[in-house]
Amino acid sequence: MRAFLSVAFLAIGIVIGGAFPRVSEVVQGALAAAGLTNARATPPTNAAVTRPVTPAADDGHGHGDHGHEHADGEPKPSGEHKHSEGEAKPEAGGHKHAEGEANGHDEEGEGKIKMTAEQAAEQDIELAMVEGGILSRHLLVPGTIAQDADRIARVPVRVVGTVSEMRKRLGEEVAKGEVVAVLDSREVAEAKSDFLTATVKADLEKTNFDRQQALWDKRISAESAFLNAKAAYSEATLRVDLARQKLSALGLNAAEVATSARKDETTPNLSSLRRYELKSPLAGRVVERKVDVGTAVGKEGDPADVYTVADLSSVWIELAVPTTELSKVREGAKVTIVGDDAARGEGKVVFVSPILNPETRSARVIVALPNKDMAWRPGTFVTTEVEIAQDKVKVRLPKSAIQTIGGEKVAFVRTPEGFERRDVTLGRADDDAFEILTGLNPGEEVAVANSFVLKAELGKAEADHAH
């Protein structure tokens, strides 16, 4: 009778379980508690609909029903297989990996690129030794090119006269002391005449003084005659000195005036007394012409100079540095100048004004810039990079050598087989280079140009390893 009831309950449980899986689990649990069924017969499932168990033949790998084999009382999830010893277990996705292999590629070759020296040269990959250096920090300031005040001069008119000759044109080169113009001046003629007259009179008085002294030494003449001759000679000598000083004030040389006077004696129709030569005070180029031939000069309201000569082999750059940055600028600091046409030059700070402009609240800073090829023209606007600090670092590397991979800063170190990725830690920086804190050692060779080629090669290599 008990066997009959067991069969009946089992049949009812199977029918209800086919339609209601959740009820089937409850019924099976009750039957198992009553000892009327085995809990291992059907494993619990969370699926909405369960399929009837179909016996399957043994496949030779120890798989029974659905290929499952578990310890007594231990339910196992569907789909898990038991494998024989020594057989590699498949991972998620169905791939089988050999021992020592991870993520589809060999860990030992990760981050390395095989490349010969010839291949690197074909890719224009340049190498450099890792070494220390100087990081220079700069301040960007706009500036204007101006003439060097120490290398510009005007050819002044020191006398009243009329321009008789203009010997130089605009842009022509002149030497220091070269005659550039000639004036016709009555004032000059008078000064020369006074000097020549004083010289002749002084010669006569000297002759008379020498004769009277000789007579007085022999006590032939009176002492009064000797003293009068001495006084006259002293007066004549003084007049010569005064006339010479007047010539010097006009820029004339007394010896040259005397020589010209002797030449005039041989050519009485030509006189140099009124001739006044204007000479250039420095070597350079004529950058401005103020007068023409026949122009009256020297009087009040007349032009005070005839030419402007400038030596443009060196120019100035005038900067206006704000007060907030002024303390960083030092005289003697190196300055890099960049023009509108990408031209570059190197100069240095020669003057930092201690006085601020009350309107702009900035200080005047002067930079001296060599201009041998005359490429920098006064009046041009430029951008300057003023060096404000120099930091000595143990490892300095150009910025072109650093690449970013996966958010990490890396460099590529040369190895016998090719290159090796090396993660680095950056420190301070300037316009051209980084300080390397960790990752590189002095003496190693690193790719410093076209390193992006190595970054691309590394990306392709890692993609090939992945699958």
Spell out the residues 6+ positions from residue 425 whose beta carbon is closer than 8 angstroms to its own.
Answer: 409, 436, 437, 438, 439
Specify the pLDDT at position 73.
41
Per residue in 40-86, pLDDT (tens digit) is 444 444 333 333 333 343 444 444 444 343 444 444 443 344 443 43
The whole-number pLDDT of residue 74 equals 43
In tens, the pLDDT along 125-165 reads 888 899 888 888 888 899 999 999 999 999 999 899 999 99
**Cα–Cα distance measured from residue 424 to residue 319, given in angstroms and rounded to the nearest whole number:** 39
Q: What is the pTM of this model?
A: 0.54
Given a cut of 70, whether residue 210 has pLDDT beyond it is yes
Please report where in the chains the tokens 């203009």 appear, as a residue. 166
Q: What is the pLDDT of residue 242?
A: 93
Q: For helices 223-249 and 254-266, give the axis angle rounded to 10 degrees.
A: 100
- For position 320, what pLDDT does the model report? 86
Tens digit of pLDDT for each residue in 250-279?
A: 888 888 888 888 777 776 666 788 889 999
Residues 6+ apart with CB under 8 A from 401: 128, 411, 412, 446, 447, 448, 449, 451
Residue with tokens 């800063």: 409
pLDDT > 70: percent of the chain: 74
Instruction: Output the DSSP codes for 97-166.
Output: --TT-BTTB-GGGTTEEE--HHHHHHTT-EEEE-EEEEEEEEEEEEEEEEE-GGGEEEEE--S-EEEEEE
pLDDT at 108: 46
Binned at pLDDT 50, 70 and 90, residue 12 comes out as low
Would you say residue 416 has pLDDT above 70?
A: yes
